[in-house]
Amino acid sequence: MFKRAYAAMAAAACLLFANGSYADQPAPWQMGLQPSATPIMSQIRWFEQYTLWFIVPITLIVLALLVVVMVKFRASANPVPSRTSHNTVIEVIWTVGPVLILLLLAVPSFDLLTAQLTFPQNPDVTIKATATQWQWNYEYENTGDSPLAFDSYLLKDQDRAAAGKEDKSVYPRLLAVDNEMVLPVNKTVRVLVTAAPTDVIHAFAMPSFGVKVDAVPGRLNETWFRAEREGLFYGQCSELCGKDHGFMPIAIRIVSEDKYKQWLEAAAKDLPGAYKSLMAATDGSKKTVDVAENAAK
């Protein structure tokens, strides 16, 4: 019986992934976080599941206590209310219990914060991301005699055909951009985040990487990540920044180191041509393209 069920599930999965592109993206009624692409996000996902082992029982216990109090101590069933002023055992329980729970939550929480805020000494790639209303500018640092900087705008529907990005399962509407940030897999990336001096506060957020940092005018913030798998990942500005806040996506394409070096060399001379060559090598090299996107504003 179980073997037949597993076989049916496997067949359904094959049919699902046979058409279009695989997208590990938000789905209707999704209850968990996005699939992780970095060690930090894997730790965040673990911590989220860990906290649920406390949140769910506490919620159910409080609900049960409320029901008991409403039923047992209602006016019709208990016309003479109790005059009990305190109970030593109960007071000890509701003092010691929360302290222990907070300690069990604090230890892994501090461990996660330490991992997030411990920056690698020698990052492989350094990029400066500058936000303005309503687009991003990426500047690759230490690229030798050929500096590389470009703007990244929301991809408009009328520009999809020219860009070769007509497949909306890979390049979703309102999340796809004209120029993605291209980075190598399994390399430490340092991102310097700021906003234009005369602009407003934005935020650089990439859910699958476990990254979210404010872009503040006149201030240089810093974050880092190391993507462990290739694919196309989407995020958004997550700080309300004006009327087009919801049209300021972030797209990062993670590729092999060889493809990254080839793209970097070509992009310094011909950015559109470099993207077309990279898309031909990545999108066309396999039937599916791994995609992660953030639908939250």
pLDDT single digits (tens) 135-179: 999 999 877 667 799 999 999 999 999 888 888 888 888 899 999
Mean pLDDT of 61-80: 89
- What's the CATH number where 41 sits? 1.10.287.90
In a domain, 82, yes or no: no
Give the model's pLDDT for residue 292: 58
Residues 181 and 40 in one domain: no
Q: Is the dihedral of CA 123, 221, 207, 165 positive or negative?
A: negative
Q: Is residue 230 within a helix (H) or strand (E), and if so which, with residue range? A: none
Residues 60 and 168 in one domain: no
In a domain, 76, yes or no: no
User: Considering only 3-17, 207-221, 278-292, which range has the smallest mean pLDDT?
Assistant: 3-17
Alpha-carbon distance of 278 to 182, in angstroms, equals: 10
Mean pLDDT of 57-74: 93
Q: Is the dihedral of CA 148, 151, 154, 158 positive or negative?
A: negative
Last residue of a domain, one of 101, 118, 135: 118
Alpha-carbon distance of 294 to 215, in angstroms, equals: 18
User: Using one digit for the tens of pLDDT, what is the confidence trace for 230-284?
Assistant: 999 999 999 999 999 999 999 999 999 999 999 998 998 889 999 998 998 887 6
In a domain, 262, yes or no: yes
Residues 114 and 129 in one domain: no
Contacts of 260 (CB under 8 A, 6+ apart): 182, 183, 184
> Over 50: is that where the pLDDT of 17 sits?
no
In a domain, 60, yes or no: yes
Residues 231 and 138 in one domain: yes
Residues 153 and 98 in one domain: no
Planar angle of CA 164, 280, 141, nearest 5 degrees: 95
Q: How many domains does the chain have?
A: 2
Tokens at 40, concatenated: 């930090």
Confidence band, pLDDT 50/70/90 cuts, at residue 66 = very high
Give the model's pLDDT for residue 201: 95
- DSSP result, 187-209: --EEEEEEE-TTS--EEEEEGGG
Give the model's pLDDT for residue 75: 85
Alpha-carbon distance of 113 to 121, in angstroms, equals: 17
Among the listed residues 281, 19, 44, the one whose alpha carbon sits nearest the alpha carbon of residue 164: 281
DSSP 177: B
Alpha-carbon distance of 227 to 254, in angstroms, equals: 7
> Over 70: is that where the pLDDT of 74 sits?
yes
What residue has token string 């279009």?
20
User: Considering only 8-12, 62-66, 121-125, 194-198, which range has the smallest mean pLDDT?
Assistant: 8-12
Residues 111 and 129 in one domain: no
Alpha-carbon distance of 294 to 297, in angstroms, equals: 8
* Contact of 148 with 274, CB cutoff 8 Å: no
Residues 106 and 182 in one domain: no
Residues 65 and 176 in one domain: no
Residues 130 and 203 in one domain: yes
Give the model's pLDDT for residue 29: 78
More confident residue, 30 or 291: 30
- What's the CATH number where 187 sits? 2.60.40.420
Confidence band, pLDDT 50/70/90 cuts, at residue 3 = very low
Alpha-carbon distance of 113 to 202, in angstroms, equals: 22
Residues 180 and 162 in one domain: yes
In a domain, 176, yes or no: yes
In a domain, 21, yes or no: no
Provide the domain limits for residue 216: 125-292
φ, ψ of residue 13 to 5 degrees: the values are -65, -40
Residues 197 and 103 in one domain: no
In a domain, 13, yes or no: no
φ, ψ of residue 225 to 5 degrees: the values are -160, 165
φ, ψ of residue 175 to 5 degrees: the values are -125, -30
Give the model's pLDDT for residue 4: 44
In a domain, 162, yes or no: yes
> Over 70: is that where the pLDDT of 100 sits?
yes
Residues 187 and 268 in one domain: yes
Burial (CB count <10 Å: 0-12, 13-18, 19+), residue 250? buried
Confidence band, pLDDT 50/70/90 cuts, at residue 25 = low
